[in-house]
Amino acid sequence: MTDMSFPADLRHAAERAKGFMPGNEGLALFQTACVYGPLGPICEIGTYCGKSAIYLGAAARETGTVLFTVDHHRGSEEIQPGWAHHDPSLMDPRFGKMDSLPFFRTAIASAGLEDQVIAIVGSSETVARYWHTPLAMLFIDGGHSEDPVTKDYEGWAHHVIPGGALVFHDVYPDPKTGGQAPYRVFQRALATGQYKETRTEGSLRVLERIATP
């Protein structure tokens, strides 16, 4: 049976990496990926600097699979200059744009997960048009406004195999606690009748795709 405890050698790497994944939610993400990883590859939409990829990559290592993580690395809307979550250290002055890719590479190399974590650099919408690999688990954590969350769901969710998992981050039922787009798309997925909710941890929501007889 797969060990569901987060490896001690990766805890420090996860804590050091830039990102917005609380420890309890990261642990839940790791444990969820350990459950579904034996069924096939894992895919993450929204890499940023690699914090969540460390949790998912650790599970990929435990279960003998891989993590594909998709991001253009120019930053989602909410981390651009002038927004609350902007980090000026991620600005590339040569182009006047965000660039989280070097930080991601450092985080994954420091964690020793380069064999398990495969970066796909490009927009989620573009990559999705050419994607054909069935997924055991899909983690949606890219842009958090209506358009990108909807496109991530519509472009990728149909690749989740029956019995696999569709996972959303930053789901806030109460608008006073966070943005509503991930919550609305999460509700949309539930309403299809193709998924059942299996776990909640903070703003993390895990849906399992129902296996048809």
Structure tokens at 136: 């055991």
**One-letter amino acid of 106:** T
Q: Under the phi-then-psi rule, with left for phi > 0, alpha for psi from -120 to 50, and beta for the rest, what region is 61? A: alpha
Q: What are phi and psi of 19, to 5 degrees?
A: 155, -175
Is 12 an active-site residue?
Answer: no
User: Which DSSP string corresponds to 71-136?
Assistant: E-SS--GGGSTTSTT--GGGEETTTTEE--HHHHHHHHHHHT-TTTEEEEES-HHHHHHT----EE
* Of 146, 167, 151, 148, the residue nearest 209 (C-alpha): 167
* Of 129, 103, 116, the residue nearest 66 (C-alpha): 116
Coil, helix or strand at residue 184: helix
Question: Of 72, 73, 144, 169, which one is the catalytic site residue?
Answer: 144
Catalytic residues: 144
